């Protein structure tokens, strides 16, 4: 949308695209001085400061983003570029603004940010699952060995003449595996 203001900030021109953006008719905007009816209350101080800077010739060449308020109260994010309005005699008569609605872009950026957060959360869960699986595997190995050594000891002790040296060896191996599991 396009909007022109005089040197004091009073609206002198709005095109249909700007009117559609903010939801006000041309006759509701022409001749209006700041504060503008489309300035969002939560952005009022910032809008006043930007307006004052523009009136004093300090508009940003890079433009600025601000949230405006439609007539129905809905908010829209816009990028505004202000440039001096020069008449045919080369006299500075006001300011012309190009207003670009970036609401959809901001919504897409927010969706992408949320998706990135979900992806990072999922990645952390996968990593924790892998760690838990690795720990379970590392615990399962010595626990299985302990069970095997224990069963071997019981079988050897059931013999009429158990080989106590082998039983002792199995018990030591059981202790090593228990320490490993710990």
Distance CA 139, CA 55 (A): 73
Whether the CB-CB separation of 20 and 68 falls below 8 Å is answered with no
| Mean per-residue pLDDT over the chain, rounded | 91
Per-residue pLDDT reduced to its tens digit, 100-116: 999 888 888 889 899 99
Per-residue pLDDT reduced to its tens digit, 140-164: 888 888 888 889 898 888 888 888 8
Burial status of residue 36 (CB atoms within 10 A of its CB: 0-12, 13-18, 19 or more)? buried
pTM comes to 0.62
What would the DSSP string read from start to end of 112-150? HHHHHHHHHHHHHHHHHHHHHHHHHHHHHHHHHHHHHHH
Q: Is the pLDDT of residue 134 over 90?
A: no
Determine the pLDDT at residue 142. Answer: 85
Higher-confidence residue: 54 or 36? 36
Q: The dihedral of CA 14, 45, 68, 37: what is its sign?
A: negative
**What is the H or E stretch that residue 34 is in?**
none
* pLDDT (mean) for 73-92: 94
Determine the pLDDT at residue 69. Answer: 97
Q: Is the pLDDT of residue 66 over 90?
A: yes
Q: Is the pLDDT of residue 59 over 80?
A: no
Task: Name residue 4's beta-bridge partners.
Answer: 13, 96
Per-residue pLDDT reduced to its tens digit, 19-36: 999 999 999 999 999 999
Q: How many CB atoms lie within 10 A of CB 76?
A: 20
């Amino acid at each position: 949308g396009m909007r022109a203001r005089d040197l004091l900030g009073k609206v002198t021109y709005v095109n249909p695209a700007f009117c559609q953006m903010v939801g006000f008719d041309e006759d509701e905007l022409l001749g209006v001085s700041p504060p503008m009816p489309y300035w969002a209350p939560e952005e009022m101080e910032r809008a006043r400061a930007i307006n004052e800077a523009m009136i004093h010739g300090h508009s940003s060449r890079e433009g600025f983003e601000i949230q405006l308020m439609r007539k129905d109260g809905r908010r829209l994010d816009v990028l505004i570029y202000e440039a001096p309005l020069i008449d045919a005699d080369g006299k500075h008569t006001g300011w012309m603004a190009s207003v670009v609605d970036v609401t959809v872009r901001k919504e897409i950026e927010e969706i992408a940010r949320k998706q990135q957060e979900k992806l990072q959360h999922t990645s952390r869960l996968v990593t924790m699952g892998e760690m838990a699986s690795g720990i379970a595997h590392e615990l399962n190995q010595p626990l299985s060995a302990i069970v095997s050594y224990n069963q071997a000891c019981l079988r050897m002790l059931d013999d009429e003449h158990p080989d106590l040296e082998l039983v002792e060896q199995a018990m030591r191996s059981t202790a090593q595996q228990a320490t490993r599991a710990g």
